[in-house]
Amino acid sequence: MVFKHSVIVVATVVALALGGLAGAQAMPDYALVVENYRASDVLVQDRHGVLLDRVRTDFHSRRGDWLALDDVSPALQRAVILSEDKRFYQHGGVDWQAVAAAAWGNTVRGQHRGASTISMQLVGLLNQDLRRLPSGRSFLQKIDQVWQTQDLELVWTKPQILEAYLNLAAFRGELVGVDALSRVLFQKHASGLDVREAALAAVLLRGPNAGQTTVVQRACGLLIELGHPQECKGLSDFTARSLRRKSALWADHTSLAPHYARLALHQLSQTPGDTPQPGQSVRTSLDASLQTYVMQSMDKHVRALRYANVSDAAVVVLDNVTGQVLAYVGSSGDLSSAARVDHARSLRQAGSTLKPFLYAQALAQQRLTAVSLLDDSPLNVAAGAGVYIPQNYDKQFSGWNSVRVALASSLNIPAVRVLMMVGPGPFAQLLRQLGLPLNQSGDYYGYSLALGSADVSLLSLTNAYRALANNGKYSPVSGLKPQEPIAVSQTVLPAGAAWIVGDILADRQARTATFGLDSPLSTPFWSAVKTGTSKDMRDNWCMGWSQGYTVGVWVGNSSGDSMHDVSGVSGAGPLWHDIMSWLHRSEASTQPAMPDTVQQAQVVFQNHSEPKRQDVFFGDTVISTVKLASSALTTAKGRSGIAEPVDGAIFALDPDIPPLNQRVSLRAVSLIGKNGENVSWRIGKDIIAQGSQALWAPMPGKHQLQLLDEAGTLLQQISIEVRGAHAK
């Protein structure tokens, strides 16, 4: 081993005497080295070039940005020179004093001492052929290294050499370069490294994989040489803490759009030739100022909803014309229990947010107009697995309402009645044409599809609402590049039908019954908006658009836990309102021009069920008077009906359950939402119960259950069946 080191040192002298080896590679220019340097991350920028996020794509080593020498702590520069090359600024690339000392120590004293200078080490980093192997460099490699070092010193300045060395040298594990070292091990910028941190970093260059004890001993020795022996106190704990961070997060890491950055890179990688390489910058359509505001506003609103068991949210903002993504926040960050999950693309139950598309389809088919009356009364719908009984959010009924009021106030039962006209199959097909990820047939969802039983993503739902903003024209989301051509759109809904739906959703008066006049859904500029809440309050939505933008907001929990009494107007609504207000802080929003297929007319409602008003009509569906048929009018005056049990219900009695615990609930309500009073219940000739609510001890067999008014007049009759043991 002593002989080996002696030969390598002597090789330095031989190399100079021979004038270098023939064919030795010329050293690259400093500027070229800087230009060719690549960080291990792709830099994702907004439309103006502002950094949004860094996404690591090279996992061989962890490299940060190239730092100029002026951006590196003077303490680190001094420590590295003292530790690696004391006469760095005096020699011409080869330190002859160090060569002589190494030769003497290796030959006479049996030491293992090298004489490589910073310049020589840099040559080894720049030339792949001179990379140091685990067994060391060969005799010929050493000769070539010395010669190329001399060449380097002729064309590079000392500051350039030191700068390049600090940016290219490996420090610890996968950390390469001073930027990665500082941001990970010490969680700060390289310009702020103090003397203790500098000493620790410098000795890591000498042995990147050295054990902790060795590192501490070397760092303390260097600190003494630097004139700071007091820094050795507590050095062991400091070193242990620092080295544990070798895989830590990047300090001061800009992360405005972590979910969108990864989505953008994934989509770019699907196009041959567009896959971003490490160190490259990718400009997207996002707006950093808007993205920042959305994140801040989301944090504020989610914190305010913590009492209601809300921990997460997601927001998507689209440009109506281009379809470009202007803001994309996939989670509430530190407030989320699954911050890395992209909730903007997660599938969630849509709730009432699908109703506008249903009404638009019915308007397009001219089955309904904005003034058509729909009955908000108890409804039992036969379904494949039993009977579907839709209810309104407040568990009340409001009787007959126009389409305008039913949609704007988000009444559930009228929406189910509309789907019974349109059909679940055609409605599901429309939703798929709007880009919603329905993977089942309409029959699978049944009539519950009217109330949003299908799972959708926030991104796809926001873009579907953008189709309404564009008068029924759908095009995919774009926006990976600010100048990306606008995608070709296709007409999914007639412009007139889509425009009328927007007019309804912008009608503050029409939504008063459910949301009141003053709510987060109201804006001082024109906007159309719809809320939605899924079953058990697991998902909360607010979707809407203005003249220029479509904004979608989801609020809920990553785990799927139910929120506590949170509706669209109290959960997602305030965040939607804040974002829309920010977008239009200095920009007007007016209602889009009425299509030629839409006409206006004055409408009078018979019996003053709704005030006289001017409304809008699609095609040739204009009417001037709205009235109920005589049978419907009788029902609307308060005639009672059976709410429970439902027609066709089958009850199975269990012999193992005590008979007194097996009872059927009987409940009657008026068709305007009040309890049915002074009624009685009859099977055959026997009155089995009195009053609007009662319990009945069922008897096996098929029965005709009748509801009678106080005069004994039959109000309604249904068929039920009781199977099993007789309950006594």
Contact between 621 and 497 under an 8 Å Cβ cutoff? The reply is no
**pTM across the whole model:** 0.78
Residue at which a domain ends, from 223, 243, 263: 243
Contact between 529 and 576 under an 8 Å Cβ cutoff? The reply is yes
Q: Using CB atoms within 10 Å of the CB of residue 233, give its burial: 0 to 12 exposed, 13 to 18 middle, 19+ buried.
A: exposed
The two structure tokens encoding residue 59: 């996992």
Q: Tally Cβ neighbours within 10 Å of residue 196.
A: 25
Q: Give the pLDDT band of residue 486 (cuts 50, 70, 90).
A: confident
Q: For residues 583 and 697, state if they share a domain.
A: no
* H or E segment to which residue 175 belongs: strand 175-176
pLDDT at residue 230 tops 50: yes
Instruction: Mention every residue, 6+ apart, whose C-beta is less than 8 A from residue 320.
Output: 466, 469, 470, 545, 547, 548, 549, 550
Q: For residues 599 and 663, state if they share a domain.
A: no
- Over range 306-316, report the average pLDDT: 94
Q: What is the largest CA-CA distance in the chain?
A: 126
The two structure tokens encoding residue 220: 């303390």
- Over range 330-334, report the average pLDDT: 93
Is 263 domain-assigned? no
Q: For residues 486 and 615, state if they share a domain.
A: yes
d(CA 710, CA 15) in angstroms, rounded, equals 119
Q: Give the pLDDT band of residue 727 (cuts 50, 70, 90).
A: very low
Angle between helix 74-84 and 118-126 (nearest 10): 100
Contact between 541 and 452 under an 8 Å Cβ cutoff? The reply is no
Is 112 domain-assigned? yes
d(CA 137, CA 146) in angstroms, rounded, equals 12
Per-residue model confidence (pLDDT) at position 105: 52
Q: Using CB atoms within 10 Å of the CB of residue 186, give its burial: 0 to 12 exposed, 13 to 18 middle, 19+ buried.
A: buried
Contact between 554 and 540 under an 8 Å Cβ cutoff? The reply is yes
Q: For residues 196 and 334, state if they share a domain.
A: no
Q: For residues 597 and 650, state if they share a domain.
A: no
Instruction: Mention every residue, 6+ apart, whose C-beta is less than 8 A from residue 133.
Output: none
Please write the tens of the pLDDT for every residue from 248-279. Answer: 777 777 789 999 999 988 888 777 777 888 88
Q: For residues 417 and 557, state if they share a domain.
A: yes
**Residue among 329, 340, 351 at smallest CA distance from 563:** 351
**Three-class DSSP category at 455:** strand
- Over range 477-481, report the average pLDDT: 75
Is 597 domain-assigned? yes
Average pLDDT of the chain to the nearest whole number: 85
Per-residue model confidence (pLDDT) at position 422: 92
Q: For residues 568 and 604, state if they share a domain.
A: yes
Is 301 domain-assigned? no
d(CA 107, CA 516) in angstroms, rounded, equals 94
pLDDT at residue 331 tops 60: yes
d(CA 348, CA 376) in angstroms, rounded, equals 27
Residue at which a domain ends, from 625, 651, 681: 625
pLDDT at residue 527 tops 80: yes
pLDDT at residue 13 tops 70: no
Please write the tens of the pLDDT for every residue from 405-416. Answer: 999 998 888 999
Is 308 domain-assigned? no
Structural domain of 405: 325-625
Q: For residues 566 and 678, state if they share a domain.
A: no
Q: What is the CA radius of gyration of the chain?
A: 38
Residue at which a domain ends, from 625, 656, 677: 625
Contact between 54 and 281 under an 8 Å Cβ cutoff? The reply is no
Instruction: Please state, in angstroms and as integers, the Cα–Cα distance from residue 716 to each residue in 43, 312, 683, following that order.
Output: 69, 47, 12
Is 467 domain-assigned? yes
Q: For residues 558 and 664, state if they share a domain.
A: no
CATH code (residue 22): 1.10.3810.10
Share of the chain above pLDDT 70, in %: 84
Per-residue model confidence (pLDDT) at position 669: 75
Q: For residues 13 and 102, state if they share a domain.
A: yes
Instruction: Mention every residue, 6+ apart, whose C-beta is less than 8 A from residue 466.
Output: 318, 320, 323, 545, 550
Instruction: Mention every residue, 6+ apart, whose C-beta is less than 8 A from residue 630.
Output: none
**Residue among 495, 532, 509, 504 at smallest CA distance from 369:** 504
Instruction: Mention every residue, 6+ apart, whose C-beta is less than 8 A from residue 168.
Output: 37, 122, 125, 126, 176, 177
Q: For residues 202 and 329, state if they share a domain.
A: no
Sequence letter at residue 65: D
Contact between 207 and 214 under an 8 Å Cβ cutoff? The reply is yes
Instruction: Mention every residue, 6+ apart, whose C-beta is less than 8 A from residue 437.
Output: 347, 455, 456, 457, 460
d(CA 468, CA 499) in angstroms, rounded, equals 7
Per-residue model confidence (pLDDT) at position 644: 79
**Residue among 373, 368, 316 at smallest CA distance from 344:** 316
Is 45 domain-assigned? no
**Residue among 312, 316, 320 at smallest CA distance from 328:** 316
Q: Give the pLDDT band of residue 5 (cuts 50, 70, 90).
A: very low
Q: Using CB atoms within 10 Å of the CB of residue 253, give its burial: 0 to 12 exposed, 13 to 18 middle, 19+ buried.
A: exposed
Per-residue model confidence (pLDDT) at position 636: 47
d(CA 469, CA 467) in angstroms, rounded, equals 5
- Over range 396-421, report the average pLDDT: 88
Q: Give the pLDDT band of residue 6 (cuts 50, 70, 90).
A: very low
**Three-class DSSP category at 442:** helix
CATH code (residue 418): 3.40.710.10
Q: Give the pLDDT band of residue 302 (cuts 50, 70, 90).
A: very high
Please write the tens of the pLDDT for every residue from 680-726. Answer: 999 998 999 998 888 898 888 899 999 888 888 888 888 888 887 54
**Strand-strand pairing, 373-376 and 399-402:** antiparallel
Which range has highest mean pLDDT (93-107, 293-307, 646-660)? 293-307
The two structure tokens encoding residue 311: 């921990």
Which range has highest mean pLDDT (41-45, 62-66, 312-316, 685-689)? 312-316
Q: Give the pLDDT band of residue 139 (cuts 50, 70, 90).
A: low
Size of the chain, expressed as the number of residues it contains = 728
Instruction: Assign residue 600 a region (left: φ > 0; alpha: ψ between -120 and 50; beta: otherwise).
Output: beta
How many domains does one find in the chain? 3
Share of the chain above pLDDT 90, in %: 54
- Over range 281-296, report the average pLDDT: 95
Contact between 385 and 444 under an 8 Å Cβ cutoff? The reply is no
Lowest mean pLDDT among 199-213, 221-235, 560-574: 560-574
Q: For residues 646 and 714, state if they share a domain.
A: yes
Contact between 184 and 220 under an 8 Å Cβ cutoff? The reply is no
- Over range 197-213, report the average pLDDT: 93
What residue has token string 């001993």? 217
Is 612 domain-assigned? yes
DSSP 586-616: S----PPPPPTTEEEEEEEEGGGSS--EEEE
d(CA 76, CA 406) in angstroms, rounded, equals 71
* H or E segment to which residue 438 belongs: none
Q: Tally Cβ neighbours within 10 Å of residue 45.
A: 18
